């Protein structure tokens, strides 16, 4: 960590649910000396500007990125619209925090990564789970060899369908808004981080779409990877659980098998349950989204960013965001996912979708054109 500390001018592009959270954190962090906001929706942007006492606001990301006060940029737009502002910010030499995924198109993701690398900017991706205490603890046990050599990893994630319904409703470009690309990427990133140093060489996956076809996406994707050292990795995701499912967003289980031990992680949030005659909040509640059913039972703490106490959000997204601000202002070494991690994760999730489409095993890595069959 550097001894030199500096003040940062921050641009937040996208003032929806996540952009709002990170902008509010910015106003609480003393190292952020200037805050600018951008969103094409005037009401979202103006409300957040008032709430955060922002120094500048605009509907044009180009105008915001060109401001002389800007040193760092958060990209919090919808998933399909990351490329243009990210490349412009990288070309300007700004540090970047990009909400996952890096992009939803293979060529766009590669173009973003190449721009980041060519400009030598520090860019991280928003994989909030890395900042939860339980996963940091597991990572430390693996790094220090507490279960020996890892030989197998199995994970499964179950999600409430509120997330895909709200996600796909915002765009007609839905071909890559799949359970793996949008949400399974969190579980995949976690497992690849825990298996750091292992490279996938083949995979086989299958999908179905009985419940979610009407929304233009899949229900579930199940797959298995083989790594370069023979380690097997099973990755299963379903985001088709009904709206009344008690998990607000994510329920995750990971089993890690080593030659000298096992680590078993249950992250389903079933240890804290509320059941009430009063309807429970949706957890994931983007602007304009109204669930079709009321939820009266909830797995508490199952909203990944964290939980509200006294009007403030507490949890892993606070840790993640403040750690990034410390990274910028004080040179702190942090466990954020890199742009290279983000591109790799997109390629692997899209490869799973391609394997399911082909109905056959795929050898990795693929050429970029293979993703456009």
3-state class (DSSP) for residue 13 = strand
DSSP labels, 230-256 = S-EEEEEEEEEE-TT-SBSSEEEEEEE
Q: What is the pLDDT of residues 152-170, one digit of tens each?
A: 999 999 998 888 888 777 6
Instruction: Give 366's DSSP letter.
Output: P
Total domain count, the chain: 2
Mean pLDDT of all residues belonging to the chain: 93
| Residue where a domain terminates, one of 254, 278, 304 | 304
pLDDT at residue 336 tops 60 = yes
Which of 132, 247, 143, 248 is CA-nearest to residue 190? 132
pLDDT at 373: 76
pLDDT at residue 260 tops 60 = yes
Q: What is the pLDDT of residues 113-137, one digit of tens each?
A: 999 999 999 999 999 999 999 999 9
pLDDT at residue 79 tops 90 = no
117 with 176, same domain: the answer is no
pLDDT at 250: 85
In a domain, 267, yes or no: yes
Q: Is 223 within 8 Å of 204 (Cβ atoms)? A: yes
Which of 39, 41, 187, 25 is CA-nearest to residue 100? 187
Which of 96, 342, 337, 255 is CA-nearest to residue 350? 342
142 with 221, same domain: the answer is yes
pLDDT at 287: 59
CATH of the domain at 15: 3.40.50.720
3-state class (DSSP) for residue 278 = strand
Distance CA(114)–CA(367), nearest Å, equals 16
State the pLDDT confidence band at 171, using cuts at 50, 70 and 90.
Answer: low
pLDDT at residue 175 tops 80 = no
Q: Is 14 within 8 Å of 76 (Cβ atoms)? A: yes
pLDDT at residue 176 tops 90 = no
| Residue where a domain terminates, one of 256, 276, 304 | 304
pLDDT at 163: 81
pLDDT at residue 293 tops 50 = yes
94 with 204, same domain: the answer is no
Distance CA(177)–CA(183), nearest Å, equals 9
In a domain, 89, yes or no: yes
In a domain, 369, yes or no: no
Q: What is the pLDDT of residues 83-109, one digit of tens each?
A: 999 999 999 999 999 999 899 899 999
pLDDT at 5: 67
Residue 331 corresponds to which tokens in the numbers above?
């040179």
pLDDT at 1: 46
180 with 300, same domain: the answer is yes
pLDDT at residue 207 tops 90 = yes
147 with 256, same domain: the answer is yes
The residue written with tokens 């509200």 in the block is 308
| Residue where a domain terminates, one of 278, 304, 330 | 304
Compute the average pLDDT of residues 4-10: 85
In a domain, 357, yes or no: no
151 with 266, same domain: the answer is yes
Which of 329, 335, 339, 341 is CA-nearest to residue 72? 329
294 with 165, same domain: the answer is yes
pLDDT at 313: 92
Distance CA(148)–CA(346), nearest Å, equals 29
Q: What is the pLDDT of residues 313-326, one digit of tens each?
A: 999 999 999 999 99
DSSP labels, 144-211 = TTTT-SEEEEEEEEEEETHHHHHHHTT-S--TT--IIIIIIHHHHHHHHHHTTT--EEEEEEEEE-TT
Which of 46, 126, 143 is CA-nearest to residue 342? 126
pLDDT at 156: 95
141 with 281, same domain: the answer is yes
144 with 291, same domain: the answer is yes
102 with 214, same domain: the answer is no
| Cα 210 to chain centroid, rounded | 26
Q: What is the edge-to-edge ordering of all strands in the sheet holding 56-58?
A: 56-58, 32-38, 8-13, 72-75, 95-99, 123-126, 337-338
In a domain, 366, yes or no: no
3-state helix, strand, coil in the chain (%, to 5): 35, 30, 35
Residue 45 corresponds to which tokens in the numbers above?
């942007």
In a domain, 233, yes or no: yes
> 70-74, 200-204, 243-247 — which is least confidently predicted?
243-247
**Domain range enclosing 60:** 8-127+318-341
pLDDT at 78: 87
> 106-120, 151-165, 169-183, 219-233 — which is least confidently predicted?
169-183
250 with 143, same domain: the answer is yes
pLDDT at 18: 93
| Cα 202 to chain centroid, rounded | 24
Instruction: Give 16's DSSP letter.
Output: S
pLDDT at residue 359 tops 70 = yes
pLDDT at residue 2 tops 60 = no
In a domain, 118, yes or no: yes
41 with 181, same domain: the answer is no
- Exposure of 237 by Cβ count < 10 A (0-12 exposed, 13-18 middle, 19+ buried)? buried
In a domain, 359, yes or no: no
CATH of the domain at 210: 3.30.360.10
Q: What is the pLDDT of residues 16-54, one digit of tens each?
A: 989 999 999 999 999 999 999 999 999 999 999 999 999
């Amino acid at each position: 960590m550097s001894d030199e500390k500096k003040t940062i001018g921050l641009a937040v592009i996208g003032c929806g649910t996540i952009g709002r959270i990170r902008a509010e954190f910015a106003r609480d962090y003393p190292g952020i000396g200037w805050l600018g906001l951008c969103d094409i929706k005037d009401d979202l942007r103006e409300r957040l500007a008032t709430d955060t006492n922002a120094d500048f606001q605009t509907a044009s990301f180009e105008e915001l990125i060109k401001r002389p006060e800007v040193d760092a940029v958060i990209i919090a737009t919808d998933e399909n619209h990351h490329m243009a502002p990210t490349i412009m910010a990288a070309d300007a030499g700004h540090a970047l925090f990009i909400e996952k995924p890096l992009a939803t198109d293979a060529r766009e993701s590669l173009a973003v990564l190449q721009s980041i690398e060519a400009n030598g900017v520090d860019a991280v991706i928003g994989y909030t789970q890395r900042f939860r205490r339980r996963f940091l603890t597991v990572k430390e046990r693996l790094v220090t060899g507490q279960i020996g050599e890892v030989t197998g990893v199995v994970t499964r994630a179950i999600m409430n369908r509120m997330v895909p319904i709200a996600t796909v409703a915002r765009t007609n470009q839905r071909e890559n808004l799949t359970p793996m690309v949008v949400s399974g990427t969190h579980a995949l990133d976690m497992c690849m981080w825990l298996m750091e140093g292992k490279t996938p060489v083949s995979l086989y996956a299958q999908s179905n779409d009985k419940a979610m076809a009407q929304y233009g996406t899949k229900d579930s994707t199940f797959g298995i990877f083989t790594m370069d050292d023979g380690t097997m990795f099973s990755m299963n995701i379903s985001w088709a659980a009904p709206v009344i499912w008690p998990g607000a967003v994510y329920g995750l289980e990971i089993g890690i098998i080593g030659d000298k031990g096992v680590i078993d992680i249950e992250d389903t949030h079933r240890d804290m349950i509320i059941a009430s005659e009063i309807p429970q909040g949706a957890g994931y509640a983007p602007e304009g989204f109204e669930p079709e059913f009321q939820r009266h039972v909830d797995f508490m703490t199952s909203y990944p960013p964290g939980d509200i106490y006294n009007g403030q959000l507490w949890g892993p997204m606070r840790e993640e965001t403040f750690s990034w601000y410390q990274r910028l202002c004080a040179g702190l070494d942090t466990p954020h996912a890199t742009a290279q991690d983000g591109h790799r994760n997109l390629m692997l999730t899209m490869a799973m979708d391609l394997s399911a489409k082909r109905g056959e095993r795929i050898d990795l890595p693929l050429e970029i054109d293979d993703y456009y069959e």
